[in-house]
């Protein structure tokens, strides 16, 4: 069994199984440490119903100097739902924690970002049905199924002084 098959099995039904959860915890710690630089980050989102924090590692895509995150599991990924419920306000860590805002990228602009993501993220390749070196038209055909968010620096928080 090759890497693609094993990786797909870790996410049966579009949800991480035990092995994927264990690997994600380890990679999230590594990403947060900053040792990997900005290509791998830890994303922290909050479940709006339970209030629990979901931390997971994500590979960033970089196109035209801008950074993006891509959902290899599509619209149903829990982190995507959490981001949308929080109007994009999340915390990312790569050496230090930062408040950021993730904004949804229009479907018509996603193809080059998804291609860059697949070139940088071997773990995403089993889930997105396009070869990493395929022409952009192939990525355009699947772009609607895979949410992409641009990473923006959040406005500084204001505190009230008494």
Domains of the chain: 3-153 (2.30.110.10)
The string of pLDDT tens digits covering residues 60-107 is 999 999 999 999 999 999 999 999 999 999 999 998 999 999 999 999
Quick one: which of 110, 113, 114, 94 has its CA closest to 36? 94
In this prediction the pTM is: 0.85
Q: Which residue has the tokens 């699947």?
A: 142
pLDDT tens, residue by residue, 4-15: 555 455 565 556
- Report the share of the chain in percent with pLDDT over 70: 77
Strand partners, 49: none
Q: Are 55 and 43 a contacting pair, CB within 8 Å? A: yes
Q: Tell me which of 49-63, 71-85, 146-160 is least confident.
A: 146-160
Q: How far apart are CA 146 and CA 103, in angstroms?
A: 14
Alpha helices in 34-127 (DSSP H): 78-85, 111-120
């Amino acid at each position: 069994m090759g890497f693609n098959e094993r990786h797909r099995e870790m996410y049966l039904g579009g949800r991480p199984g035990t092995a994927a959860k264990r690997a994600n915890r380890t990679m999230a710690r590594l990403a947060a440490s900053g040792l990997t630089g900005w290509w791998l980050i830890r994303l922290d989102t909050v479940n709006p119903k339970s209030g629990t924090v979901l931390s997971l590692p994500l590979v960033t895509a970089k196109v035209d100097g801008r950074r993006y995150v891509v959902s290899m599991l599509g619209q149903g990924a829990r982190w995507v739902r959490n981001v949308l419920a929080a109007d994009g306000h999340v915390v990312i860590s790569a050496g230090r924690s930062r408040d950021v805002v993730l904004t949804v990228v229009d479907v018509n602009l996603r193809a080059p970002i998804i291609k860059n993501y697949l070139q940088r993220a071997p773990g995403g390749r089993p889930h997105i049905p396009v070869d990493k070196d395929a022409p952009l038209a192939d990525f355009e055909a699947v772009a609607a199924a895979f949410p992409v968010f641009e990473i923006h620096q959040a406005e500084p928080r204001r505190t009230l002084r008494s």
